[in-house]
Structure 1
Amino acid sequence: MDKLVITTRASALALWQAYFVRDEIKKHYPSLEIELLEITSKGDKILDRPLALIGGKGHFTKELEDEMLAGNADLAVHSLKDVPSYIPDGLELVAITKRADQSDVFLSHKYKSLDELPMGAVVGTTSLRRRMQLLSIRPDLQVKDLRGNVNTRLRKLSDGEYDAIILAYIGLARLDLIKDVPYSQKLPLEFMIPPMGQASLGIEIVSNNPKLREIASVLNDNDSFLFAKLERDFVSKIGAGCSAPVAVNATIENDEVTIRAMIGFSDGTNILKHSLSASRQDCDDLGIKLANDMISQGALELLKASEAVSFKETRPQRL
């Protein structure tokens, strides 16, 4: 194999990620010619409403997968949190990069921290997961939709459209943008549980290509791959899409793996939390066990009811 085509979204952060992957591969295969194929995804085009209102899955991945299936690319680099639990026939998710800082970060031009926000302050986020967890602690806040790439979101904050916004820390850190905001506060994972796969990259390849699999394997981190499997098993079992109000996170300490999850209404009510632990040797089905436990506690009914009320204030009314 003399040439490798990597497909990626065209946003600044996605390109950072694709160049990072390219450079890592180059360290192991210096003579390999690597080309980037930049694609604008559906999720990047639809900026006038929350993706949770559009329906379907894979808003940031489908176009990249289509390029691979059409033979125009060999490998795709995704933010793992955007990758649905279902992978199309002919493709494989074969490597997960080492998980970076998973924190969400509070950003403001007016207030030093989340605790300093006054009652009724306007906070920007489109994530149902963030809405759920934020309003479960601060039901007095107004949470408003926030779409666009990272720079667009930061501009809306500086223009005064929001008192504060919440974004993933790692994207801002990679683009060196946190310094441009007067006040920032990393939120503890105990307060803001991440989504499946946050702060890892998912490497997807065309199936039945041993050389591609070999190349992709240099990017894999074993612990991160395990965490991703458990989290994705959980999400798949309960049938939650990428935009559902679901938080799930697997960690390891002293060879004990713990996975915890939280689901509820996006207005911060009707919260269901649960966690399970097992030794690393016995944790392979821990995500499925956690999902089954929560299903027995009413998780499926809760998710269905939550979908009916999420973004209710922005849904078009039937005439």
Structure 2
Amino acid sequence: MASATVTIGTRGSQLALWQAEWVKSAILANHPAIRVELAIIKTRGDKILDVPLAKVGGKGLFVKEIEEALLDGRIDLAVHSMKDMPADIPTGLCIGAIPKREEPRDVLITRSGDPLEALPQGARVGTSSLRRAAQLLHVRPDIRIVPLRGNLDTRLKKLETESLDAIVLAAAGVRRLGLADRITQVLDETVMLPAVGQGALCIETRTDDSRIGAVVGALDDPTTRQVVLGERAFLNRLEGGCQVPIAGHGHMDANGFTLTGLVCDVDGSRQIKQTRTGAPDQSEQIGLALAEALLAAGAGAILERLNEHAQSS
């Protein structure tokens, strides 16, 4: 291993590079003799910046090209934001490690410094996430959602250049780039339930590559992995993608594993939300059970309608 080189595949955004550099540093801390390189790969999601994510369609917008490079051996491992990962992992690949999670919640950044409840009537709020838009409209049906794409720095600039009153971002990205002082309000989960996997990293490897498996295995946080796998089981059962407002967040405490899931109409008018708790080692079963409960409560009809609309548009 002393003379080995490890190549990490990553997107080229400032946040993606921060995440890849963090993994690189963690690998070198455990294996200082290894040479670690970054390979920047442009994904379809990086190329299409003038269309809302929900209209681009498909799963894996920010990971597919990187996974192809991993499968054909151009890179040894990939670093993704877990919330970008489709429910299904391609044959031959696996989640090699999930490091300890950063803050999973969303944050509001406003020009005025006012929190969500104090924004003016008809305030313009920037986001291209149906999940965020639907939950915002559920509590503030008067606000106007403005499509917002681009990397974190670009979206922060658009807060000023496009005369927005506020934007919504993932707390993890804002904190990782040292911009926590820009946060106006951390949105409570009762208002804005996070995306599945938000705040966590996914280190993806080839299933049969025991060398890299051993290198990244030390970066895995067992508690975070158990929680995230429960969330992803929930998402997988609902077959959720960018076209439907689905949220899910779990945590471990003295009572075991608790998972809250949500399915919402895009206009925020109807929101189906439930919570399940169980044994820590049953997180995936709890995720499946929660999904079934939401489907039985009416989420199935919402998802069917939204998927039909997405296919016809």
The runs of at least 4 consecutive aligned structure 1 residues that moved more than 6 Å come to: none
CA–CA separation in structure 1 for the residues paired with 2:236 and 2:210:
27
Alignment of 1:167-246 (within 5 A): 167-179=169-181, 181=182, 184-246=184-246
| Residue 290 (structure 1) aligned with residue 290 (structure 2) | yes
> How many angstroms does 1:279 deviate by?
2.3
Residue identity matched to 2:220: N
Note the C-alpha offset of 1:81: 0.2
Mean alpha-carbon deviation: is it higher for 184-193 or for 228-237? 184-193
Which residue pairs with 2:8 in the alignment? 6
Q: How does 1:1-319 map to 2 (within 5 A)?
A: 1=1, 2-179=4-181, 181=182, 184-307=184-307
What is the SS of the residue equivalent to 1:300?
Answer: helix
Q: Deviations over 1:223-242 (max 9, x none)?
A: 11011111111111111114
**Bigger Cα displacement from structure 2, 122-131 vs 235-244:** 235-244
* Contact residue 111 and residue 117 of structure 1 kept, 8 A: no
Q: Determine if contact 2:226/2:280 at 8 Å carries over to the other structure.
A: no
- Conserved? CA contact 1:129–1:247, under 8 Å: yes
The answer as to whether partners of 1:74 and 1:205 remain within 8 angstroms in 2 is yes
* TM-score, with structure 1 as normaliser: 0.93
Greater shift, 3-12 or 48-57, is seen at: 48-57
- Residue 273 of structure 1 aligns to which amino acid in structure 2? K
Question: Is the partner of 2:184 in helix, strand or coil?
Answer: strand
Taking a change above 3 Å as real, the CA distance of residues 290 and 23 of structure 1, as seen in their structure-2 partners, is same
Structure 2: which 5+ runs fail to align? none
Q: Percent identity?
A: 38
Aligned residues: 310
Q: Compute the displacement of 1:69 (Å).
A: 1.3
Distance across 2 between alignment mates of 1:112 and 1:269 = 24
Question: CA offset at residue 72 of structure 1?
Answer: 0.4
Structure 1 unaligned residues grouped into runs of 5+: none
In the TM superposition, what whole-angstrom CA distance separates every residue of 1:242-269 from its partner, at most 9, and x where no partner exists? Answer: 4420010111110421111110111101
| Cα offset, 1:13, TM superposition | 0.2
- Give 3-state SS (helix, strand or coil) of 1:287's partner: helix
In 2, are the aligned partners of 1:69 and 1:91 still within 8 Å (CA)?
Answer: yes
Amino acid paired to 1:304: E
SS in 2 for 1:86: coil
Output the CA distance in 1 between the equivalents of 2:75 and 2:244.
Answer: 30
Mean alpha-carbon deviation: is it higher for 217-226 or for 275-284?
Answer: 275-284
State the shift of 1:41 in Å: 1.2
Q: Is 1:43–1:59's contact at 8 Å kept on the other side of the alignment? A: yes
CA deviation after TM superposition for structure 1 residue 120, in Å: 0.5
Q: Following the alignment from structure 2 to structure 1, what is the Cα–Cα distance between the partners of residues 297 and 186?
A: 32
Structure 2 counterpart SS, 1:297: helix
| Distance of 2:292 and 2:106 partners within structure 1 | 28
Alpha-carbon distance in 1 for matches of 2:282, 2:9: 36
What is the identity, as a one-letter code, of the residue corresponding to 2:223?
D
State the SS of the aligned residue for 2:268: coil
C-alpha distance in 1 between matches for 2:230 and 2:74? 31
